[in-house]
Amino acid sequence: MNAPLIDVRLRQIRLEAQGIASYELVSATDAPLPQFTAGSHIDLHLAHDMVRSYSLANAPSDTDRYLIAVQREAESRGGSTWMHSTPRVGDVLRTSPPGNDFPLAEDAPQSIFIAGGIGITPVMSMLRRLDALGRRWRLHYASRSPAETAFVDELRVMGSGTGEVDFCFGSSRIDRVDIAAIVRDAPSDCHLYCCGPARMIDAFLDACACRPAHTVHFERFAASSEAATEGGYDVILKRSGERLTVAPGKTILDTLLDHSIDVPYACTAGVCGTCRTAVLEGEPDHRDDFLSDEERRSNQSMMICCSGARSKTLVLDL
Ligand code: FES
């Protein structure tokens, strides 16, 4: 099922901006870290069974470390608060090997990126990779103020090479990044990327509706829909034969964990794909942002952290 976890040692914590810290992780053993591609993330195991996905910000050629950045969230579900208060340099943490749900089209003649806030993290890795390849890129980076913006100094330097950086600071400026104009003016062979708040992604997808799907890339940090917690249906676990009732207020994942059934999960928000589970019978109520429309229509799999059931029973391959 899941690849074995890796022990990593926290070598450095650095304040990148107001409320944003970066964490440099190196191998805690003699084994080298698994390599990664631009746009990858790791699922970091925190305390109390919390698992959180963090994008890697360093260059893939930087093979001896993983660099992540974490924003302190006012409405944290625990992960960002823990990361900002608990780990100390020298601590050993456990992580999944890197996975990539947001890959870079390395051979695109030109790439345009739209990033909002902490959404810059995977984009940093992509820009470093494109710089190494000598490819052209342009970044539109929206944030509240320079003091709250991570990697500003580095980007100012990077923006003098094959890339260009447009900063857009201001509390309402995310709305003022003219995404429609950026997309409209992009050359037809250009690949477009967006990572940021939900409304930014939604505007990006609207603007890109007429562009070839393989040139449009995005990654969400939070689901655009509420999780299905209406309950009132049963889940049958095909392999063990167990039948569990999902009560109101609970997701399928909650229900499984309440019964000490160990399943992989990370974001709990329907965006990372870690909890994807095959559906053998029944109709899911899809609430994730991971599956494609076609995959949802097929009802062959679902994200059990946030999706529910339209039928009275779901049979899952668990
Ligand atoms: S745990 Fe991330 S999609 Fe379900």
Q: What's the confidence (pLDDT) of residue 25?
A: 98
pLDDT digits (tens, 9 = 90+) for 11-47: 999 999 999 999 999 999 999 999 999 999 999 998 8
Verify whether ligand 1 is closer than 6 Å to residue 139 (CB atom): no
How far the first Cα of the chain sits from its last, in Å, is 11
How many Å lie between the centroid of ligand 1 and the Cα of residue 51?
10
Verify whether ligand 1 is closer than 6 Å to residue 99 (CB atom): no
Query: What are residue 117's DSSP bridge partners?
Result: none
Q: Which residue has the higher pLDDT, 217 or 1?
A: 217
Verify whether ligand 1 is closer than 6 Å to residue 111 (CB atom): no
pLDDT digits (tens, 9 = 90+) for 41-70: 999 998 877 788 899 999 999 999 999 999
Residues 110-141, buried b or exposed e (16+ Cβ, 10 A)? Answer: bbbbbbbbbbbbbbbbbbbbbeeeebebbbbb
Mutate which of 41, 220, 296, 306 for ligand 1 pocket (most atoms within 8 A of beta carbon) = 306
Verify whether ligand 1 is closer than 6 Å to residue 223 (CB atom): no
Verify whether ligand 1 is closer than 6 Å to residue 267 (CB atom): yes
Determine what percent of the chain is predicted with pLDDT higher than 90.
70
Per-residue pLDDT averaged across 151-167, rounded? 89
- The number of the ligand 1 atom at minimal distance from the alpha carbon of 270 is 3
Place of tokens 């009732």: 245
Verify whether ligand 1 is closer than 6 Å to residue 54 (CB atom): no
pTM of the model: 0.78
pLDDT digits (tens, 9 = 90+) for 190-245: 999 999 988 889 899 999 999 999 999 999 876 667 889 999 999 999 999 999 99
pLDDT digits (tens, 9 = 90+) for 271-298: 878 899 999 999 999 998 888 888 999 9
Q: What's the confidence (pLDDT) of residue 76?
A: 56
How confident is residue 8, by pLDDT bands cut at 50, 70 and 90? very high
**Which stretch of 80-84, 155-159, 175-179 has the lowest confidence by average pLDDT?**
175-179
Verify whether ligand 1 is closer than 6 Å to residue 270 (CB atom): yes
Q: What is the overall mean pLDDT for the chain? A: 91
Give all domains of the chain, ordered by start, each with its CATH number. Answer: 6-95 (2.40.30.10), 110-220 (3.40.50.80), 233-316 (3.10.20.30)
Verify whether ligand 1 is closer than 6 Å to residue 121 (CB atom): no
Q: Which residue has the higher pLDDT, 71 or 3?
A: 71
How many Å lie between the centroid of ligand 1 and the Cα of residue 219?
13
Per-residue pLDDT averaged across 298-311, rounded? 95
Q: What's the confidence (pLDDT) of residue 223?
A: 67
How many Å lie between the centroid of ligand 1 and the Cα of residue 201?
18
| Whole-number Cα distances in Å, 140 to 129, 134, 174 | 17, 19, 10
Per-residue pLDDT averaged across 74-93, rounded? 85
- The number of the ligand 1 atom at minimal distance from the alpha carbon of 264 is 1
